[in-house]
Amino acid sequence: RIVWERAKTLGKDFRIHNLILPWSSNPQKWEKPPIGFMKVNMDAVVFNNKSGFGVIIRDCDGFVCGGCVGYKGDLPSTKWVEIDTLVEGISMARSFNFDHVIFESDCTSIVNRLCKYHVDITILGHRIIEIRGMIDLFAEAEVRWISHDKNKVVDKLCSMAMKNSCNLSFELEYPSDIHQLVILDSF
C-alpha cells in the first residue's frame, strides 16, 4: 500500500499516465487568471508534415481579448512548432501592451525547458534563452504547464487551422464558432 501511494504521488507530480491502468477522466475547465493578469493559452498540432497552432488571450473575467490560429507546412518537429506558437503568444501579448501575463501550454517539455533554461546548450536551448528574454520584458510573467483538458479551446483552434488550412488573427470581435468554443469551456 505504501509503495502504491508513493507511485500515485510520483505519477501526479511528474504527470505520468499509465496507459495500462484505466484513466478516470474528470472533465476540467479553463481557470481564470488572478485579477490584473491576462492568460495566454497556446497549443500546436503536427500531422502529415503540416502544423496548426492556436493562441487565445483572456482576461481575469474570462473575456477574450484576442487570439490567432495558423497553418504552416514542413516544420522540423513538434517542439519547434510549440516554440513558434509560444513566440506568437508572446508577440500578441506585447502588441496589446499587457504587463501581467500567464502563459499556459500543455507541452511539458517546452514548459520545463523554459523553467530550466540556463542548462540547455542545444540549438533548441539557445532559442529557449531568447524566448525567456522576451518573457522577462513583461512586468510580471509566468509560464505554466496546463493539462490538455484545460486547454480545449486552443486545441480546437489548432484543428480548425489544420482543417481549413487558414491563418486568422482576431481581437474583441471574432468568429461565432470560436465564441461557441469559449462559451462551452466556461461552464
d(CA 37, CA 102): 7
Residue 4, pLDDT score: 61
Give the CA angle between residues 133, 70, 148 to the nearest 5°.
75
What's the rounded Cα separation, in Å, for the pair 143 and 111? 7
Q: What is the pLDDT of residues 95-131, one digit of tens each?
A: 999 999 999 998 888 888 887 766 667 777 788 888 8
Residues 7-32 have pLDDT tens digits of 665 565 554 444 454 555 566 778 88
Tell me the domain boundaries of the chain.
26-186
Match domain 26-186 to its CATH number in 1.10.150.300, 3.30.565.10, 3.40.980.10, 3.30.420.10: 3.30.420.10
Who wins on pLDDT, 120 or 138?
Answer: 138
Between 158 and 94, the higher pLDDT residue = 94
Cell 497552432, located at residue: 53
The CA distance from 43 to 104, in Å, is 9
- Indicate the pTM of the whole model: 0.80
